[in-house]
Amino acid sequence: MKNITAVGVGYVGLITGVCFADLGNKVVCVDINEERIENLKQGLMPIYEPGLEELVTRNMQAGRLSFTTSYAEALADAEFVFIAVGTPEGVDGEADLQYVRMAARSIAEAMEHPLIIVNKSTVPVGTGDWVADIIREYRNNSVDFDVVSNPEFLREGAAISDFMYPDRVVLGSLNRDAAEKVAQLYLPLRATIMITDLRTAEMIKYASNAFLATRISFINEISNICEALGADVKEVATGMGYDQRIGHAFLDAGVGYGGSCFPKDVKALAYMAEIRGRHPQLLRAVMEINHYQRRAVVRKLEDALGGLRDKRIGLLGLAFKPNTDDMRESPSIHVARMLQSAGAHVRAYDPVAMKAAARMAPDVELAQDPYSLAEGCDALIVVTEWNEFKNLDLARIRDLMARPVLIDGRNIYDPATMKELGFYYRGVGRGYEDQGTQ
C-alpha cells in the first residue's frame, strides 16, 4: 500500500484518487473548494460518472479514501502527489495554468519530506520543468522532489473502466527512477507502461487528442461530400473501418466533438505550434470543420421549416456525449444559440445534464422528458446519442409535434423507418435518402 495525494476533486482528480484507493492504496484528495469537499464527505458527487458514487462510498468506508481542504493534512504521509486540477482555455487558445501554479505552490509550502510530484492535468509541453521551478522557489527547505508527467486518457462516461483497463500508461521524467516508482502504482493493472522524458510524455497527450479530433472532423467532411453525391456516410464509415489500418473508432459523423478535452487541446496544440513559428494547417481545418457541423444542422432545419423565426425547436440531448452531464463546449450550446439568434424558441431535454443546463443555458426551456419536449414543437434535433432516445415511441413523438420534422445530428435512426412513420427526416451524410424524406 502506498500513500497518495490527489490535488483537485474535479473529473480527473476524483477518478484518479478513487481508483488508486480501490487498488488498495491510501488516498487523500485535497481541494480548496470547501463545498465540494464537504459534499464528498457526505457522499454527494460533483460530477456524473457511472459507478463513481459506489466506488467512493466503498473506499471511504474501507478507510482508504478521505477528503480535505488542508494541504498540510493531505501531504503529511504522502509519497506521491498527483496534480489534477483544471487547465481551462485561455484568451488566445493557450492552456490557462493558474490552477496548476496554485497547486504547485501549495505543495511546495506544505511539503516536509521527499515527494514524487505527478502532473496528471493536461498541460502544455514544458510544464513539468515549470512546475519544478515553482516547487524550488516556494519550498520552505531543501526537501528533495521529482516531477513526473503522467497524462490521463479518460473518456467521460467510461473513465473508471479506462483507468482500470488502460490501453497504455505514459510516464515522463528527467529521473527515470522516479518514473519507475510511479510505474509501480500501475502494475496491478497489467497495462503497457511507456517511460520517456517529460516533454515527450506531455506531447503524447496532445497528439493523441488531436488525432482523435481529426478523425471526427475527417468523417464529418466525408459526410458533407456524401450528401452532395448521394452516398451514405454510415455505410462508408463501416466499409472504411474493416481496413485494419483504419479501424472503426471515431468514425461516426454528426454535429462534431465537444467536451472539456478535444476543443481545448486542439486549440492549445495549435497555439503552441504558432508561437514556435510552425503552421498547424491541419489542426485549423479540424477546428473549422467542427464548427461547420453545428451550422450545417441549423441550415438543414431552416430549409425544412422555411425559416426559424417563431418556430419551436426541441433539442434531444444537452451533454456533449452520453453517460456524462458535462456540457462544456457541447454542440447543444452552440446550436441553441444559433437557433435563438434566428428567432426560434428553444426547448431541451437530457437524461442527466439538466442541472448543468440550468446553469450554462439559462435561456433554454427545459422539459421533463422527451415526450413533453416534443409537444407542440415544429422540429426536433438529436444532439446527443443517448440510448434512451434510440428507443423512443416515435409514433407518439410524431403525434405530439406540431410538424413531424426531425434532424438527426447523430444518425441514430433509420431513414426508411422515419419515412414510413411520416417524418421529414434529415440525418448527417445519409445521401439521397437523407434528402426529401417526408
Percentage above 90 pLDDT, the chain: 95
Yes or no: say if 193 and 183 are a contact pair by the CB < 8 Å rule.
yes
Grid cell listed for 183: 510505474
Task: For residue 184, count other CB atoms closer than 10 A to its CB.
Answer: 11
**For residues 143-168, average pLDDT:** 96
| Cell 450528401 found at | 227
Residue 420: CB partners within 8 Å, gap ≥ 6? Answer: none
349: left (phi over 0), alpha (psi -120 to 50) or beta: beta
**For residues 142-160, average pLDDT:** 95
Distance CA 168, CA 351 (A): 32
Grid cell listed for 177: 527512477
pLDDT digits (tens, 9 = 90+) for 237-248: 999 999 999 999
CA proximity to 65, closest of 48, 40, 47, 45: 40
Run of H or E residues at 108: helix 98-110
Instruction: Provide the mean pLDDT of the chain.
Output: 95
What is the SS3 assignment for 214? helix
Residues paired with residue 384 on neighbouring β-strands, in sequence order:
none
**For residues 3-27, average pLDDT:** 97
Q: At what angle do helices 98-110 and 127-138 cross, to 10 degrees?
A: 40
CA proximity to 378, closest of 307, 428, 324, 437: 307
What is the SS3 assignment for 396? helix
What is the SS3 assignment for 358? helix
Q: Where are the beta strands (DSSP E) in 55-210?
A: 65-68, 80-83, 115-119, 145-149, 169-173, 193-196
431: left (phi over 0), alpha (psi -120 to 50) or beta: left
Provide the residue ranges of all domains of the chain, joining segments of one domain with +.
Answer: 3-196, 230-434
pLDDT digits (tens, 9 = 90+) for 189-217: 999 999 999 999 999 999 999 999 999 99
Catalytic residue status for 377: no
pLDDT digits (tens, 9 = 90+) for 30-69: 999 999 999 999 999 999 999 999 999 999 999 999 999 9
CATH for 230-434 is 3.40.50.720
Asked if the 3-196 domain carries CATH number 3.20.20.70, the reply is no
Residues paired with residue 116 on neighbouring β-strands, in sequence order:
80, 146
Distance CA 287, CA 320 (A): 16
Q: Phi, psi at residue 20, to the nearest 5°?
A: -65, -35
CA proximity to 117, closest of 257, 233, 5, 259: 5
Residue in 19, 29, 226, 261 annotated catalytic: 261
pLDDT digits (tens, 9 = 90+) for 105-145: 999 999 999 999 999 999 999 999 999 999 999 998 889 99
